[in-house]
Amino acid sequence: MEILLKKIMGSRPYHLDLASTLDETRESLLAHYYDIIFLDIKFKTSSSFEIIDRIPRGTKIIFVTAYPEHAIHAIRSNAFDYLLKPVKEEELGACLDRFYESMSAQIVGNVIQIREKGFARWLKLSDIIHVKGNGPYSMIHLPEEQITTARTLKSLIPDLGKDFVRVHKSHVVNRNFIKGVQKDQIILTNHTCLPISRNGLKSLSSF
């Protein structure tokens, strides 16, 4: 499988990690974000279905197995694809082509590209609740996770689009998630309270 992947990927830029046990897979998922992950369903006495909830929603999952009876479970687990062993080069190539096409479609849409722990990642702007700046870093808050990226808040603002307003020197919010304003605070729909400056109030009133 590794040899096939390297052959098909060719000159495309990519980073490949390998894990031979479920524990190694868990450790890799904690340490890195992956755009795509190939999972063998059987790990000796355990199953990779046990770690599905640890995989970010944006990661495409391709199950690789010698057991076709697991296909329904894989589909219900939001699998991007399902490859039967022995994996054929043309099937793996078609799978990767579909993956790159899906990524291209996302890039054309209303998204922003960031880098997290050295890996490229695309986020839907509509999913971003607010962004907090912290020096050379920014923390992007999504409904189910927070992502730290090595970009300043100032550099991110032009890429966020018209729905985002800077309410404070350290905070930019998506106006679609604003619940209300109370004194010197802005309240978001997820019950987060953020400070709002005078300039932030002016910016907000201009929408």
Q: Could you identify the residue written with the tokens 């695309």?
A: 122
Lay out the sheet containing 193-195: strands in order across: 178-182, 185-188, 193-195
Q: Do residues 13 and 115 make contact, with C-beta atoms less than 8 angstroms apart?
A: no
How many C-beta neighbours within 10 Å does residue 48 have?
Answer: 23
Letter for the amino acid at 87? V
Q: Is the dihedral of CA 96, 112, 19, 42 positive or negative?
A: negative
In angstroms, rounded to a whole number, what is the distance separating the alpha carbons of residues 113 and 35? 12
State residue 22's pLDDT score: 83
| Residue found under tokens 């550099």 | 155
Beta bridge partners of 63: 39, 82
Pair 148, 139: CB distance under 8 Å: yes
| Cβ contact 129:190 at 8 Å | yes
CA atoms within 13 A on the CB side of 168: 16
pLDDT for the residue numbered 205: 72
**87 secondary structure, DSSP code:** P
**Helices and strands (DSSP H and E) totals, the chain:** 6, 15
Domains, the chain: 2-108 (3.40.50.2300), 124-205 (2.40.50.1020)
Alpha-helical segments (H) within 17-117:
22-31, 71-76, 89-108
pTM score = 0.50
Task: Please tell me the distance from the alpha carbon of residue 185 to that of residue 72, in angstroms, as a whole number.
Answer: 48
Q: Tens digit of pLDDT per residue, the chain (207 long)? A: 667 676 666 655 566 788 888 888 888 888 777 888 898 877 766 777 888 888 887 788 898 888 777 777 776 777 888 888 888 888 888 888 888 777 655 555 578 878 877 667 778 899 999 999 999 999 999 998 899 998 899 989 988 888 899 999 999 999 999 999 887 899 999 999 999 998 888 887 765
**For helices 89-108 and 2-9, angle between their N-to-C axes, nearest 10 degrees:** 50
Q: Give the tokens for residue 194.
A: 């953020």
